[in-house]
Amino acid sequence: MIRIISDVHGAVSALRRVAPGDTPLLILGDLINFIDYRNNEGIVSDVAGRDFVAEVIRLRSLGDYRSAGELWREHSRGREEEYRAMYRAAIAAAYEEICAPLDGVETYVTYGNVDNPEVMKRHLPGSATLIEAGTISINGERIGIVGGGVPTINSPGEITDEVMAERLGSIGPVDILCTHVAPAVTPLAADVVGGRAKGSPAVLDYIERYQPRRHYFGDIHQPQAVTWKVGDTLCTNVGYFRATGRVFLHHAG
């Protein structure tokens, strides 16, 4: 059995509760919490204020990412370095806190769109392995893990679809594919609260070509569908851990 979670987004208490165990834990990205669309909480709110976050959420929920980006730039204009320093400190503190429960737990971690891979790596304990693109073998199954999020606001964890395709190509065929992002299948990739669909064509191309038995992913907090068949591959959103606190269990075979 393998335990899988995604979109932890700073849920330290829940992670502390579920992390210990006799089976490996896979975390499919987004460890820290920038913005919680349900209640406006997160690093951005702590640094820039709840009113600012509320307007960012409103624009992004409308799919107006351009205006949201302009709002970010205008908000920090003339204070760019001050805000960068505040965000750096908040992000480092967030990773220190969220990585602590993984100490002593066999964990394989990749990163999502809101993550900073370099800062994450500095705070992960020795029992946790950060995988950008690679394979592991558990219980006789070859598991491919590929990190990176779909570009939206130019955060460090975002990658282009071309880079995603290169990373997927580097792992070759696997039994189980794990990514942060959804494939470009609208019911899986569309968030009914957060706005536009964020699926990856490269992930879909990989699945159609290699047909792994399972594909596990996160990123989409409120999807239209949580499972979907692409050929012989069963694609499954493992859930928004910050909201549910639940672990998805994969059984071999």
Q: For residue 114, what are the domain limits?
A: 2-32+101-250
Q: Are 87 and 48 in contact (CB under 8 A)?
A: no
73 occurs within a structural domain = no
Q: In which order are the strands placed within the sheet that holds 214-217?
A: 133-138, 141-146, 176-179, 214-217, 233-237, 227-230
CATH value at residue 26: 3.60.21.10
Per residue of the chain (253 residues), what is the pLDDT tens digit?
899 999 999 999 999 999 999 999 999 999 999 877 778 888 888 888 888 888 888 887 777 878 888 888 888 888 888 888 988 999 999 999 999 999 999 999 999 999 999 999 999 999 999 999 999 999 999 999 999 999 877 778 999 999 999 999 999 999 999 999 999 999 999 988 766 678 999 999 999 999 999 999 999 999 999 999 999 999 999 999 999 999 999 988 6
Token representation of residue 6: 């995604």
Tally of CA atoms within 13 A in the half-sphere of 120 that contains its CB: 27
Tell me what pLDDT residue 195 has: 61
Instruction: Give the Cα separation of 193 and 222 in Å (integer).
Output: 6
Dihedral of the CA atoms 41, 47, 51, 53 (nearest 10)? Answer: -60
Q: How many domains does the chain have?
A: 1
Tell me what pLDDT residue 89 has: 94
b/e map 180-198, b = 16+ CB within 10 Å? bbbbbbebbbbbeebbbbb
58 occurs within a structural domain = no
Residue 160 carries which DSSP code? -
3-state secondary structure 14-76: HHHHHCCCCCCEEEECCCCCCCCCCCCCCHHHHHHCHHHHHHHHHHHHCCCHHHHHHHHHHHH
Backbone torsions φ then ψ of 149, nearest 5 degrees: -115, 165
40 occurs within a structural domain = no
93 occurs within a structural domain = no
Dihedral of the CA atoms 4, 113, 185, 8 (nearest 10)? Answer: 30
Tell me what pLDDT residue 194 has: 62
168 occurs within a structural domain = yes
66 occurs within a structural domain = no
Q: What global pTM score does this model have?
A: 0.91
Strands 214-217 and 25-28: unpaired
142 occurs within a structural domain = yes
77 occurs within a structural domain = no
Instruction: Give the Cα separation of 132 and 145 in Å (integer).
Output: 7
